[in-house]
Structure 1
Amino acid sequence: MMIKKVLFFVFLLMSLVSFSQTYDTYKPEREKINDLVHTKLKVDFNFKEKQLNGEAWVTLKPHFYATSKLTLDAKAMLIHQVSLNNQKLEYHYDDLQMIIDLPKTYKKDEEYTIYIKYTARPEKVQQKGSAAITDAKGLYFINADGLDKNKPTQIWTQGETEASSCWFPTIDSPNQKTTQEIYMTVPDKFVTLSNGKLVSQTKNGTNRTDYWKMDQKHAPYLFFMGVGAYEVIKDSYKNIPVNYYVEKEYAPYAKDIFGLTPEMMGFFSEKLGVEYPWNKYSQIVGRDYVSGAMENTTAVIHGEQAYQTPGQLIDENAQENTIAHELFHHWFGDLVTSESWSNLTLNESFANYSEYLWREYKYGKLDADMHLFEDSQAYLDGQNNDKHLVRFNYVDKEDMFDLVSYNKGGAILHMLRKYLGDDAFFLGLKTYLTENKYQAAEVHQLRLVFEKITGKDLNWFFNQWYFGAGHPRIEVSYDYNTIQKTVTINLQQLNANEFKFPFAIDIFEGGKKTRHNVFVDNNDASFTFPYTKQPTLIQVNADGVLLCEITETKILSDYIFQLKHAENYAHRREALLEVAKKQEEKDAFNAVEAAMSDASYKIRILALEKIDLINKFSKKDAIAKIMQIANNDKKTLVQATAIETLGKLTDPALKSIFVKGLESKSYSVIGKALVAMYYVDKPLAIAKSRELPDEIRKILATPLTRIYIEENDEKELPFIAKNVLSGMFLTGDDATKSLYQKAFTRISENNNSEAIQNIVDDMVVKGNQYKSFNFDKVVINLMRKMIQDQEAKNTPNKIRNTEIIKEGMAKLL
């Protein structure tokens, strides 16, 4: 399951809220009384009632002890028949579980098949979602009545964590594994997708039954059904079909979005030493999806943020990390599954780290390190210091899907890889996957594999990083002995608990760098090294591998040297932020200007954002350099930032740069150029904004809103409400969120009925996110005010759908 990017900042806020919660009682692995063997389903769909008519044949056997009872999870269903060999069975059902009396006592390995006829009613499900997965009713009908002409009719499922039992009876636990077959009857105009292979299609009038079969075992939460009017774009890896299910509008771009998938499959197969283990790999995009993406075995679903056009993809493929993440789950999560949600790290930490592995392979170590830094920093900023990576005392299973299981877990795997070395690390992964394939596992099994291979005791590593909380917080000081020409580096841990770790230290003597690798094994550690001449800089955690917080005292010259010479991206970034604070000094200004040429495009962007052009030092030369960057940088995102920086000067002499930017293929460049142009030639900027096709205007909604709000352009308020406000959940930028607040205020002041309706429509889908950002009260007040005004004026122009308002308010109140 991928939650970053789409819901990242919601996720971060929710983690801050949950930080102070007390943990509940111990949550064990679910006891295995009966084992799932095979699941056969026949389903059709009642679009009007948003229900599923189903028949299930569930084959099981006692796990070890003989039993005469079976407990199945089945949430909010109508149960019509329960039988075995045509004999009706007695059962008790409480809307959550069925406890079935078997006709005899079954012994270990003695199989039996239960038949259940039922109606699944997802709208009646009571269980709630979380910050990561915002809903938990399992089965979703999108625009089921077809009344919304701007949205296709679709059906998709979401099983994680325990929501598959909202649409078929099962033992809804990650430590169960079953083969499956599904007969899906749908209107013939629709395409279907499920796990495994499409065996046959049988037409029956206007309907069609698709038969999907999965011969390899996987967990119930990985079952999937998708239905809709999709174009299927075909690709392949070796002899394995790789297909992309997209709406017709995006069919021309499907391979631009998903086309690296076969290469990823080959890379991961080779890196792990385990070939991709399934018979196909399909990816589908679902409207109104409740999370980022989900690793349903052979049938991954992505949220609609996956849809991108060439003007966006030229900047970066925002879905690429997610594509890698969900694919890697097909080894870690699907092939070998965490036995309990407490061990979720065996799924999500590996999928998180796959993003680093892919970027390292495809784009180089610098690019991968930038990604690792951002992931690690999100965890460090998230106030999760009280949470163990493996934790059995969580409040709710949904709480496990957090920055610890994802980001911290990925960083821990990176540390383990560095400590063991690549050969041992990847051989360990291969061994773990091979020994546990098609089974469930716990973290101790991973540790034992690495210990067997390396001969090292790793209890210390797993105890502090997997079964302990927090990370090292280190205070660093230096003692120089100029007579003996030595420097002593003192490390004091400020944590209550003590960490042990390998640690890289670089000592620079002018342009010469010496790397020292040490091992810290107590709270106070000191290491003494000789030098030939006084060190120019000492860089601790020089390789950036250790997940930690470091406090040390440095002066401006240290940071300027660090910005130019540090190996690790995070250290150059840290130095740039410090140097940028002192640009009244010429050396600092020159260092920031030089950083605009850094090998890291994110350093170049940060330097452009931070450079202070209101000073006496080489301003003309710096502007000329920024103009060059705006025209020629190989990264369009850097070009866009350069234009934004130039735009702040509001200098008509720069108009030609902005005109050229408006001709770019990059939407980021166009957006920044429009705003910059607005402040030197308003009529031209507004005219250009109106010439843009609707699909581009939607993508550029945020910069256009900046212009329209400043222009007080009331006729654009519906556009703002429809296209901008829904994007507020995807950014943590304070200026952008401030813009959204202004937009809300302007809509309220203007009583724009269409704009308010657009907010209501969006809020119905994203209610939880509105609540997370405290926009729910604003929306409710807007709706109430609008209704009151309309009633007072007795105007016929009322909000068009009172049922939508009621549904929206119910979600928010």
Structure 2
Amino acid sequence: MRKFSAALLSITLLTATAFTHKAVAQTDTAALKIYRATPTKINDLVNTKLAVSFDYKKCYLYGKEWVTLKPHFYPTDSLRLDAKGMDIKTIAVVQNGKNIPLKYAYEDSLSLNIKLNKTYLNNESYTIYIDYTSKPNQLKTKGSAAITDDKGLYFINPDGKDPNKPIQIWTQGESESSSAWFPTIDKPNQKTTEEIAMTVPAKYVTLSNGKLISQQPNANGTRTDTWKMDLPHSPYLFMMAVGDFKIYHDKWKNIPVDYYLEPKYAPYAKDIFGDTPEMIDFYSKTLGIDFPWNKYAQIVVRDYVSGAMENTTATLHGDYVQATKRELMDAYYNFGRQTIAHELFHQWFGDYVTTESWSNLTVNESFADFSETMWAEHKYGQDAGDAHFFKDMGEYLDDPKNADKDLVRFYYADKEDMFDYVTYKKGGCILNMLREYLGRDAFYKGLNIYLKTNAFKNGEAQQLRLALEEASGKDLNWFFNEWYYGSGHPLLDISYNWNEASKTETVTIKQKQMNKVFTLPMAIDIYGGGKKTRHDVWVADSVFTTSFKLPAKPDLVNVDAAKKTICIKADHKTDAEFVFQYFNAPLYADRAEAIEALSVHRDSKEAQKVLIAALKDRYYELQTTAIDALDLKNADIRNAAVPVLTQLAQSDPNTLVRAAAIKALIMLRDPGNMNLFKQAISNQSFAVEGAGLVGLASLDTDQAMTMAKTLETDAEGELITSIVTLYIAAGNDEQWPYINSHFDNLGTTDKFSLLRDYADFVAKLKNPIYAQQGIAEMKTMGIKYKTAGITEPLTKMLNDVKAHRQAMGDDATGKMIDEALKAIQ
């Protein structure tokens, strides 16, 4: 699951970073002392058959279930099923076509403890019939920063009152929420085949796992669609979706590959999801195992509570992946496309072989995260893959609390805590590091062995280790003990010394982290005399020293030359050496390190040389990094950079580079750029168009306001952000309807960077109804992001707005603010 669609908020600065997966939950000390064992298997699920219908007015599901089970090993006369917040009408055992009622206790409306009609042996199966009603909106749920709740079944705009939102139903099972809409053993180490008959209004489309085997029209204007899944998978991977979707039919070999989208976005289905068959082919060939299911569908829904979910054969995406062709011009390898790759890879790692417990979630999520790097390399080149790796590593390293957590951990306060940067980002980077150490052929052979050995079953990290050892012939206990069953990362201090008399270069690598020394297989590249020589070393001491006899002082000694080691480095190279590294070392990280190091000394001639050259780097993200690092107040940099920035702004093939160059030129406030900004506003790229509007506003606000009005109708993406930003800065009540209709749909980073100005704007609105709409939006944000730490700064903002509104005599809005303050506490 891609859970980092919520925000890891830097609340004190009111900024946010999108991340696809879960913010670290608040932990309870006592809960951390509980050993989280793999769930004991008393009974095994065999088959789950459901017949369901929906009450849109009440937001109920009416269900009938026939669940077949058998004892796992020991004889048993009882069965426990998870069933959250349901009305249970009947529980019976099916014998000779008859339902024989059984005694049961419904414990805390969470668990059914059923007394079976006899003691069953493990070679006997039995079928339980349950008639029930699921009432998800009445279920008390906790949720987390990234999963806003866990009620399992969601009715979206069921009464149709919101004209801007479709009527939909969809489900979300991970981690253990499927039991909110059907009774089951809701644990990842259970697997079952499945059949779901869904009775829905005939005008709607349905999707579920497996194959659509029948569609039966009913006399009352409904239709019953039956979906069947012949291969076993875990209950949290069950799914349903109902709504007005258009289906685009694609395929890989003879396997259907379908895309379900809202009608507005149906013309862009191929633009959004069109890489999927190529992805399936790439992953199938790389893993040596063809896509293991009978279909693959992707569906986009509204108000999804996370990023995306890898339901078996039927991935569900949040609506952030829906985009027009113009919006996709600025996407490149963006979050949506990363997620498409991520969820697809789960069909092998997570669905085909599923973690046996949440403690071992790494065998699901770390692999899906790593697959994003794999796809980026394959589709967009090595620089793209390396850039993805370094972003992941940086996001893990940015929070010191991550260093305290093992990748595999059996002690946690809540299972949701496992969905964090350690499981996703660090875990994915660990796999990349392991691939570098073993070599790609051995690494992928090991993955093949792991998947084949555990097909349609469950796996854990030790089984992964054994498979990789079988493939490579190498012992990997040391690696898994350090990186899977240990925490932290190396803090490396790297220094160099050249002895002219002995013609010896000495490299010293100190590990400065506390209480642990890592074993680090590492490459050191030495550049001199126009050539590069690689030396492989093992850094296994707190102070590691190695020396090289050379004919002359080297131009560069590049430690960790493969750039795959998860670490924080203090690398004591000179500026001249970093300049050489930028122009001569081959990797994305070599150039990124040089740009970062030299940006600190950006007034120096060496730094300026690299920063100006990097404006035309072969990888667009390093171009934008260099643009951001420029100090245009420095005359030397400005004189060298402006001609290049102007060229980039006008003609760079990458729209994000063009937009970044325009934003840099805005800082000059040069009237001579007016035509450039106006030309940008007519560009097909929303990012370029939005940057042009900001540029125009920097020179002539009134003209920009007039222009923005003409752009409102067709605006999407970055252009909407620019219009909203401009209106908040320079508008009044006239612009409020546009702000109000678009603010909530801005990207998380944009919303939080604008929130302070948004609050000030709301405070000054003359129309109390408008002000109350703004307070409602702030209240919604406060509730949604409460666990991420928004409460304190938002409380201050609301009190400031209240004081201003009361001074205006607007007591009604003041009362509404009081209600909002109570709601967000």
| TMscore range, shorter length | over 0.9
CA shift digits 1:465-515 (9 cap, x unpaired):
000001111112223222221111111111211111211212222643222
- Verify: 1:760 aligned to 2:776, yes or no: yes
- Verify: 1:139 aligned to 2:153, yes or no: yes
Aligned length: 803
1-side partners of 2:823 and 2:280: how far apart?
A: 41
Quote the residue 1:315 is aligned against.
330
Quote the residue 1:48 is aligned against.
57
Q: Which amino acid aligns with 2:343?
A: E
Quote the residue 2:352 is aligned against.
335
Quote the residue 2:102 is aligned against.
89
- Verify: 1:625 aligned to 2:641, yes or no: no
CA shift digits 1:430-467 (9 cap, x unpaired):
11111111001111111111112222111001110000
Q: Which amino acid aligns with 2:81?
A: L
Q: In 2, are the aligned partners of 1:389 and 1:467 still within 8 Å (CA)?
A: yes
Shift of 1:656: 2.1
Matched residue of 2:785: which SS? helix
Quote the residue 2:446 is aligned against.
428
Quote the residue 1:521 is aligned against.
540
Change (3 A) 1:112 1:14: closer
Q: In 2, are the aligned partners of 1:62 and 1:106 still within 8 Å (CA)?
A: yes
Which piece of structure 1 moves more, 50-59 or 506-515?
Answer: 506-515
CA shift digits 1:62-99 (9 cap, x unpaired):
00000000000000101000001211000010201000
1-side partners of 2:544 and 2:605: how far apart?
A: 38
Quote the residue 1:473 is aligned against.
491
1-side partners of 2:763 and 2:681: how far apart?
A: 32
2-side partners of 1:20 and 1:603: how far apart?
A: 42
- Verify: 1:150 aligned to 2:190, yes or no: no
Matched residue of 2:292: which SS? coil
1:187-266 map, 5 Å: 187-204=201-218, 205-266=220-281
- Verify: 1:78 aligned to 2:87, yes or no: yes
Matched residue of 2:760: which SS? helix
Q: Which amino acid aligns with 1:416?
A: L
CA shift digits 1:537-596 (9 cap, x unpaired):
222112111101111323332332233233332232232133233333333223211111
Shift of 1:798: 12
Q: In 1, are the aligned partners of 2:496 and 2:572 still within 8 Å (CA)?
A: no
1-side partners of 2:290 and 2:619: how far apart?
A: 33
Shift of 1:634: 1.7
Matched residue of 2:517: which SS? coil
CA shift digits 1:626-671 (9 cap, x unpaired):
1111122121100111111111111121222212211211100001
Shift of 1:376: 0.7
CA shift digits 1:300-354 (9 cap, x unpaired):
1111111112222111253111000000000000000000000000000000000
Out of 296, 299, 303, the position equivalent to 2:318 is: 303
Q: In 1, are the aligned partners of 2:265 and 2:322 still within 8 Å (CA)?
A: yes
Q: In 2, are the aligned partners of 1:344 and 1:390 still within 8 Å (CA)?
A: yes
Out of 588, 592, 612, the position equivalent to 2:631 is: 612
Q: Which amino acid aligns with 1:632?
A: S
- Verify: 1:409 aligned to 2:422, yes or no: no
Change (3 A) 1:758 1:718: farther
Q: Which amino acid aligns with 2:133?
A: T
2-side partners of 1:262 and 1:759: how far apart?
A: 45
2-side partners of 1:755 and 1:267: how far apart?
A: 52
Matched residue of 1:159: which SS? coil
Which piece of structure 1 moves more, 225-234 or 677-686?
Answer: 677-686
1:263-412 map, 5 Å: 263-317=278-332, 318=334, 319-383=336-400, 384-412=402-430
1-side partners of 2:356 and 2:199: how far apart?
A: 33
Q: Which amino acid aligns with 1:548?
A: C
1-side partners of 2:719 and 2:65: how far apart?
A: 48
2-side partners of 1:131 and 1:683: how far apart?
A: 40
Which piece of structure 1 moves more, 578-587 or 145-154?
Answer: 578-587
Shift of 1:16: 6.4
Matched residue of 1:81: which SS? strand
Quote the residue 2:11 is aligned against.
none
Q: In 2, are the aligned partners of 1:67 and 1:107 still within 8 Å (CA)?
A: yes
State the TM-score, normalized to the length of structure 2: 0.93
Quote the residue 1:486 is aligned against.
504
Shift of 1:769: 2.0
2-side partners of 1:138 and 1:782: how far apart?
A: 38
Shift of 1:295: 0.2
1-side partners of 2:208 and 2:471: how far apart?
A: 38
- Verify: 1:461 aligned to 2:461, yes or no: no
Which piece of structure 1 moves more, 696-705 or 44-53?
Answer: 696-705
Out of 169, 174, 179, the position equivalent to 1:165 is: 179
1-side partners of 2:806 and 2:82: how far apart?
A: 46
Shift of 1:392: 0.4
Q: Which amino acid aligns with 2:661?
A: A
Change (3 A) 1:10 1:233: closer
Change (3 A) 1:785 1:584: closer
Q: In 2, are the aligned partners of 1:722 and 1:755 still within 8 Å (CA)?
A: no
Quote the residue 1:812 is aligned against.
824
Q: In 2, are the aligned partners of 1:756 and 1:782 still within 8 Å (CA)?
A: no
Matched residue of 1:640: which SS? helix
Q: In 2, are the aligned partners of 1:321 and 1:355 still within 8 Å (CA)?
A: yes
- Verify: 1:451 aligned to 2:465, yes or no: no
Matched residue of 1:570: which SS? helix
Q: In 2, are the aligned partners of 1:760 and 1:779 still within 8 Å (CA)?
A: no
Unaligned runs of 5+ in 2: 9-16
1-side partners of 2:732 and 2:810: how far apart?
A: 24
Cα root mean square deviation, aligned: 2.5
Out of 601, 613, 632, the position equivalent to 2:620 is: 601
Q: In 1, are the aligned partners of 2:631 and 2:637 still within 8 Å (CA)?
A: no
Shift of 1:722: 3.7
Shift of 1:112: 0.1
Shift of 1:738: 4.1
Shift of 1:693: 4.0
Matched residue of 1:48: which SS? coil
Change (3 A) 1:91 1:781: farther
2-side partners of 1:456 and 1:148: how far apart?
A: 60
2-side partners of 1:748 and 1:693: how far apart?
A: 24
2-side partners of 1:502 and 1:216: how far apart?
A: 41
2-side partners of 1:72 and 1:403: how far apart?
A: 32
Shift of 1:606: 1.3
Q: In 1, are the aligned partners of 2:493 and 2:512 still within 8 Å (CA)?
A: yes
2-side partners of 1:620 and 1:685: how far apart?
A: 28
Seq. identity, %: 45
Out of 706, 709, 719, the position equivalent to 1:700 is: 719
State the TM-score, normalized to the length of structure 1: 0.94
CA shift digits 1:228-275 (9 cap, x unpaired):
111111111111111111111111111101111111011101110000
1:476-555 map, 5 Å: 476-495=494-513, 496-509=515-528, 511-555=530-574
Change (3 A) 1:716 1:79: same
Change (3 A) 1:16 1:165: closer
Matched residue of 1:374: which SS? helix
Shift of 1:395: 0.8
2-side partners of 1:723 and 1:232: how far apart?
A: 27
Shift of 1:787: 9.6
Quote the residue 2:12 is aligned against.
none
CA shift digits 1:365-387 (9 cap, x unpaired):
11110111001100000220110
Q: In 2, are the aligned partners of 1:698 and 1:723 still within 8 Å (CA)?
A: no
- Verify: 1:112 aligned to 2:126, yes or no: yes
Q: In 1, are the aligned partners of 2:729 and 2:757 still within 8 Å (CA)?
A: no
Q: Which amino acid aligns with 1:191?
A: V
